[in-house]
Structure 1
Amino acid sequence: MSFVVRPRRVRLFAGLGAVVLFAAFTVAGIFMRQTDTGANFVLSDQIAMVGIGLFLALGALWFTRPRVRADRDGVEVRNMLGARRFPWSDVEQVSFPDGSPWARLELPHDEYVPVLAIQAMDGEHAVTAMRELRRVRREAADKQ
């Protein structure tokens, strides 16, 4: 009864963006010394240009990090900056408010945690993920 979900569309766009960024900076780095711009570029400039492309590509891939993992003991939400695990007893509700770009876990005292792994732009994938996450939560509550 374990469930894992990651966003689909953002992973596709981030992956494509990473490839395009790295390729563009690599091509620019290769042709730096061959174009007559009036500036004097050397090998270290070319390497730096490829390095910048690599860092930008890694930055784009950072958006593929969100994930939610749920089992009968609780739910782990991994967003951009970190991961937190919540026992089901701390989760009052799993919701997807109207107009919200992603789902969230409703916690006591009017607190909530965004679940970036379930995004509105994923359409039917997000609906299926919400149903499955709610099912896991319901089954965990029934066994307690």
Structure 2
Amino acid sequence: MSENTDTNRTTRTTSDEGWELEARPRKSARYAIAVAALLVAVHTVLGILLRTGNTGVYFQRVDQFAMIAIGCAMGAGVLLLTRPRIRVGAQGVLVRNLLTEKLVPWDLVQGLSFSPGASWARIELPDDEYVPVMAIQANDREYAVHAARTFRALEAKYADPAR
């Protein structure tokens, strides 16, 4: 049984290798964690206090659990904002946003840009298409600048110069 576990761990590790840049949002992730914790705490307190007063409505214990479960579900939804990530390497650009993950090969990448007023970067593709990159956010300031510069250096290294 332990051999199987070691094999799975090795497989996971090797799939994580080969990426020269990995970036995740910083500020919004911290805010999301704080808001998620606040939502769970508030709903837990409200769930506990739901039956303490005489409001004219008779609340059951299941209502208390439902209130706490709603807080946990809302917190989990907010924690999706911590999920975005971009990985850049020889095989291309792997962009993970809230729910999706997409590998963009270098022959399709036409640059990384911030549209005026945009909250996050985007990878430019042919035919005026783009892939939003929620991992590089404007509110991260210097971290976002460093990630964009590193991306552009790797793009110069791997992308087709004939495009």
Does residue 137 of structure 2 align to residue 115 of structure 1? Answer: no
Q: Is the 8 A contact 2:109 2:159 kept in 1?
A: no
Equivalent runs, 1:43-54 vs 2, <5 Å = 43-54=61-72
Higher RCO (CA < 8 A, seq sep 6+): 1
One-letter code aligned to 2:93: V
Residue 2 (structure 1) shift? 1.6
Equivalent runs, 1:8-27 vs 2, <5 Å = 8-27=26-45
**Cα RMSD between the aligned structures?**
1.3
| Match for residue 83 of structure 1 among 101, 111, 116 | 101
Residue 15 (structure 1) shift? 0.4
Structure 2 gaps, min length 5: 1-18
Equivalent runs, 1:1-144 vs 2, <5 Å = 2-141=20-159
Q: 2:96 and 2:144 mapped to 1: Cα distance?
A: 16
Q: 1:91 and 1:51 mapped to 2: Cα distance?
A: 43
Q: 1:126 and 1:71 mapped to 2: Cα distance?
A: 18
Q: Secondary structure at the match of 1:33?
A: coil
How many percent identity over aligned positions? 46
**Taking structure 1 as the reference length, what is the TM-score of the superposition?**
0.93
Q: 1:46 and 1:32 mapped to 2: Cα distance?
A: 6
Structure 1 gaps, min length 5: none
**Taking structure 2 as the reference length, what is the TM-score of the superposition?**
0.82
Q: Is the 8 A contact 1:119 1:126 kept in 2?
A: yes
Residue 98 (structure 1) shift? 2.9
One-letter code aligned to 2:64: Q
One-letter code aligned to 1:94: L
Aligned residues: 142
Q: 2:114 and 2:106 mapped to 1: Cα distance?
A: 17
Q: Is the 8 A contact 1:72 1:137 kept in 2?
A: no
Q: 1:32 and 1:123 mapped to 2: Cα distance?
A: 43
Q: 1:31 and 1:92 mapped to 2: Cα distance?
A: 56
